[in-house]
Amino acid sequence: MSQQPEQEPRPESGADSSPPDRLGPRPLRQPPVDPASAAVFGRPSGVDGAFARSSSMNGSHPQMRSAPPPADALVDAFSRPPELGDVLLQRPPVDQQPDGQPESPLWSRGGDPWRDPGAGAMIGPPAVGAPAEEAESKPKLGRGYQLSVPELLFGRRVKPTALIVLAVVVLVIAAAGGGVGWWIAQAGNDLTSDVSLVPVDQNASPDRSADSIAGVAKRVAPAVVSIEFRNDQTGGVGSGAVIDGQGYIITNNHVVESVAKDPTMKMTAVFQDGSRADAKIVGRDPKTDLAVIKVTVNNPTVLQFGNSDQLAVGDPVVAVGSPLGLSNTFTQGIVSALHRPRLLPGNGGDPPVAYDAIQTDAAINHGNSGGPLVDIHGALVGINSFIVAPSEDGGSIGLGFAIPANDARVIAESLIKTGQVKHAEIGVNAVTDVSAGSSQGARAANVADNGAAAKAGIKEGDVIIKVGNRIVRNSAELTVAVRANRIGDTVPVVLVRDGREMTINVVLQSD
């Protein structure tokens, strides 16, 4: 084993001790100077230091301009004291010291060596830990006594019974304080009291008879479907009603119009129980905004047609459909008005839409289109088709319109049988609304050649004020009044020409 170097024993406190040995300064090495270099870089003749004496500067360089002599006051204040003589800042070389000895050091041998820049490296003891004897001599601490919970809390031993009594006292005080606080809170609030509300009568049941709204909803819901159509880019939703056991569903033309014009569209009918069935278009009638589609299902619930001609203003009605995609939505209202002619522009080049509408205040929104309007007995009395809203994307404000069921039934039968519908036509292609004297009417602006009106003698400029028993006040009423008759019927038409009223019989033709 290698032996550790012996450490220098430490001096005891109070004993005289000499500082550790020090290394002396490194000897000054002065290499010989080249005479040529000394001639170039040496001091001028007569200058033995880094700065020439002041006397040597006077007159030695006549071209050099010196500063004027300082003032006497400055000389007295900042000049060297006379007793120091003419001494330069540079310390004389060692060989010029008296007896060849260096100056006395600024630091003594017994001073702090770290403050002496000329001191050499100090040799001291190695930086090692305490001897093993000293480490072994220190006593080792064992595991002390651990305090119990009573000692930790109270600083001394406490009997368990005392702790139990103390806990009981604390609980009693807390309960008393809580009771007092509750009593104060109750006494200070006049709005609360100790009451017992009347219990709910478990035996009471709401009126869900067959003629109630709940009864109507229960019977009608299975016959109402949501019509979904979609392709990779777009889609939409509408409503419809099953009107035949073979799966025929009546709806609006504008619900299925995009499917008819886009072969990539897929149409699906969704029933109340969530079952789905692919739907195909049977036929469309753009002039009345009606269409019939068909699905393949077994034993569907069929909605029965009612007589819309027997409706009266104020009769309760229920609108059913999928507004904004919310299927099986029922809204209740009344019949607000009857025989409200609606004339709407067609979509995508289709002819104008005209029908004699039922007005209702039952909430109808986007998605209700094609859904049924039923009476209090659950019979179909109209097909929801149009609303008046503050904006194009607005909702219901209580102005909804439905196609009468009597008209819808005739058109649906024709679409199911032939796939198309023919309407009675008078042969006036364009009309404008005017006032003829004290009455209103529809002015014939363009009478078609070989049409029913032209053959009967109606001329351009005539103001039609009545068709059959139907008063005509505008172009919409003229259209619905003519379509209320059948093709080939002879209808008396009352008109005003040059301020004179006359009646002309017109044989209606097919459109």
Sign of CA dihedral 439, 441, 443, 444: negative
Half-sphere exposure for 385 (CA within 13 Å, toward CB)? 32
46: left (phi over 0), alpha (psi -120 to 50) or beta: left
Check if the beta carbon of residue 22 is closer than 8 Å to that of residue 122.
Answer: yes
**DSSP string over 377-429:** TS-EEEEEEEE--SSTT---SS-EEEEEHHHHHHHHHHHHHHS----EE-SEE
Distance CA 159, CA 165 (A): 10
CB 85 within 8 A of CB 79: no
Number of H helices, E strands in the chain: 11, 20
Q: What tokens were used for 242?
A: 């099953």
Phi and psi at 92, nearest 5°, equal -60, 150
Residues contacting 192, CB < 8 A, separation 6+: 186
- Token pair recorded at residue 200: 């709910």
**CA–CA separation, 376 and 497 (whole Å):** 47
Asked if 289 and 353 touch (Cβ cutoff 8 Å), the reply is: yes
CA nearest neighbour of 327 among 258, 269, 253: 269
Closest CA to 229 of 367, 341, 30: 367
- How far is Cα 118 from Cα 25, in angstroms, rounded to an integer? 7
> What whole-number distance in Å separates Cα of residue 509 and Cα of residue 230?
39
Q: Give the E-state strand segments of 243-352 in sequence order.
A: 248-251, 266-270, 276-285, 290-295, 316-321, 329-344
* 277-310 as b/e: b if 16+ CB within 10 A: bebebbbbbbbbbbbbbbbebeebebbebbebee
3-state secondary structure 20-75: CCECCCCCCCCCCCCHHHHHHHCCCCCCCCCCCCHHHHCCCCCCCCCCCCCCHHHH
Catalytic positions = 254, 289, 369
Burial of 451 (0-12, 13-18, 19+ CB in 10 A): middle
